[in-house]
Every structure is written in C-alpha cells, then in structure tokens.
Amino acid sequence: MRTQVGIVGAGPAGLLLSHLLHLRGIDSVVLESRARDQIESTIRAGVLEQGTMDLLTDAGVGARMKAEGALHHGFELAFEGKRRRIDLTGLTGHSITVYAQHEVIKDLVAARVADGGKLRFGVSQTSIHDIETDKPSIRYHHEGEAYELQCDFVIGCDGSQGVSRASIPPALRRDFERVYPFGWFGILCEGPPSSDELIYARHERGFALVSTRSPNVQRMYFQCDPKDSVENWSDDRIWAELHARVDSHDGQKIIDGKIFQKNIVGMRSFVSNTMQHGRLFLAGDAAHIVPPTGAKGMNLAVADVRVLTEALNAFYVENRTDLLDGYSATALKRIWRAEHFSYWMTSMMHRIDGASPFDQQLQVAELEYVTTSRAAATAMAENYVGVAGAQAQA
C-alpha cells in the first residue's frame, strides 16, 4: 500500500491534517488503534480558540460547531467569595467556543468518510520504519492481516503513549516535563447551565471549574488528590465541595443535577523539543501536553497541523523543504507560550500543598490585579483566545 502522507492516530490532529491535505490534493492514510465508535464517544473537554474556529469553518467542517457549540465572549474568575468577568471580545475582538473534542472528531470523521478518505480503525502492532530515508513506512495489523504502508512522510498524531515519539532515538530527543501534585475530579451532570460562561474558581480548599456541554448537560471539575478514588465521593459530598468553592457571597450559586459520570485526571506539562526526525514529524499530544487550566490542548494540536499542512503543501507544489525543515522551531514558539500560560493559570488558581499564608495571599493579589487592570486582563484574554500564541508563532 502506498500513500504520500501516513498519519498515525485519528485524534483531532490526525483527522484534521488528513482533511486539510485532501483539500490540497495530497493523499494520506490515517491509522488508528481504537474503533470509530470509541474515538467518537470518549468525552473530552473542548474550548476552541478563535483561530481554531476559523480554520474549521474555512475547511468546511464547522457547521455543527456553529450550530451546537456555545460561543462565549468572556469568562468569570471567582475568588474570595466574588466573581469578576474577563471580557474576551471587548479586550481582544475575539471569542471562544465551548465544543467538546469528541464532537470535533465526529465532524472530521464524517468529512473524511464523505470524501472517500482512507481511515483504518482498530489497527494493532503499529511500528514506524526507515524514517531516516526518503521512503519511510508504517507496518501494522488490521483484521488479522499484516500490512506495510509506504509513504513520503510519517506524521505521528498518536498521543503521549503512542509509537511515534518513541520511534525517535531517545539520545536525539530533548524532552521537558513537569508533573503536578494534584488532579481534577470531573463530573458530567444533567441540568441547566449554572452560568452563561465558564467559571474558574480559586478557593482555599482548591480550584474548581464550571463549564457546559449542552443546554441539558454540564461539566464541572474540582481539584483533588490524583491518587483519590471516585468511590470516595458521594453525589452529596461532590455538590457540597463545589458549592463551597464556587458559590459567591452575593447569592450566586451553582445548580445541582443528576451526576452520571465521575472521573479523576492527573495533570502534567510536557514538551518534546524534538518534533521531527528525518521523515517523521510529531503533532498534538505526541509532542506536547498542557494542564487543562489554560484550555490549550486541542488548539495546540490544530496549530501544529496548520503549520504542517503549509509545509507539506510547499513540498509537493513547489518542491520546497524549508518549511518542513523549520517545523519544530516554528511550532515550538507557540507551544512554549501556551505552556507558560497554562502553568501560570494553574499556579494562580490551584491550592499548592505547603504554600504559606503569604504565598496564598500572593495568589489573591494577582487575581485582584488581573481583574482590575485592563492591561493585565488584556494579556490574559490575548493568551486565552490564542492571539498571543499566534503572534509568537508568526
């Protein structure tokens, strides 16, 4: 089997790259270890920056996002019993859309199927070969048969535990990581939204986030011990904790609902500064992870794909390699900006074990400054909607 671009992983990065390449007449094959229904039903958060929204729309896969996503022009910061709003649109001219990642995946899969795209779900024993030559290949098993996919380039979009990054010799990689000593306890519940916009809450008991999935389904999180168990948390205990952290002194309260999903996620930051080796290029979670506080994960993946698409198009149309050669350097400018923003948001909003009362008051002082200084609020808003990251990438 032969193609121009072999893509490992059918997450947002791999699927979007395949779709964008198709629009430019470049052939690709996407290989995914999970089944289609698995990737379309695994519920994950999704806050889309303005640039991501625009790219999906321009690529013809944004109709459902516009119809069903929640367009937000700001968000609220809750601390010391009060809430203050960051006016994203007023400060930057841009907005964000809350639209879950699995919904983006559904839209992209549907587009690739409609266009006759080559998607292989449920593959196993995937391995990448000959990336230091101009004829790399991907070997895999599918429905009991062994295959070899020959291609010009291999793009690894298979996440942090995939085979792609591991195919780059460890001695040649420069990896950076920070593991946080806390996690997020997440719930999905039935009920109306507690707020028209996202609420980020800093409380002495720990961080909390109030989000929405639909008019009838809400998503909420609160900081917890990553080694805790969901069995230790009854519904009543969960709601008591969320009310304590988010409700304000003026009577604004979150709305309880029937909880139908609970999970705990760990938090870490990771960057592989080596995003390419030979004919192998990494994109999305295969190259970088951010804590979800800054809402950057999927947006960084989309930004990687945007750069790769232009670089591959330049190779096939103009026989240029300069954009491919500079892929890592170009992408990393935006990645490190987003990593810093996510770290800053995480550090400012979470309870840090061992922090002194002095340190805790510094968090409050910083939140006071961010929510009362137009300059500071603008810097936060630019990073949140992706303007600052786009400038760094340029």
Q: Which residues are part of the catalytic machinery? A: 72, 200, 292, 296, 384
What secondary structure letter does DSSP report for 81?
Answer: T
Q: What value, to the nearest 5°, has the Cα angle with vertex 18 and ends 16 and 24?
A: 105
Burial of 56: CB neighbours in 10 Å, binned 0-12, 13-18, 19+: buried
- Tokens for 388, please give them: 């600052």
- Name the pairing type of β-strands 153-156 and 5-8: parallel
CA dist 175 → 99, 166, 268, 288 (Å): 31, 12, 13, 9
> Do 291 and 271 touch, CB atoms closer than 8 A?
no
> For tokens 């809350």, what's the residue?
98
Q: Is 229 helix (H, G, I), strand (E, B) or coil?
A: coil
Long-range CB pairs of 55-61 (<8 Å, 24+ gap) are 55/16, 55/302, 55/306, 56/16, 56/104, 56/107, 59/16, 59/19, 59/20, 59/23, 60/23, 60/111, 61/19, 61/107, 61/108, 61/111
For residues 94 and 387, the answer to whether their CB atoms sit within 8 Å is yes
Residue showing tokens 């996002």 = 65
Cα gap 307→92, rounded to integer Å = 23
Q: In what order do the strands lie in the sheet with 199-202?
A: 82-87, 74-79, 199-202, 208-214, 217-224, 175-190, 258-272, 288-289
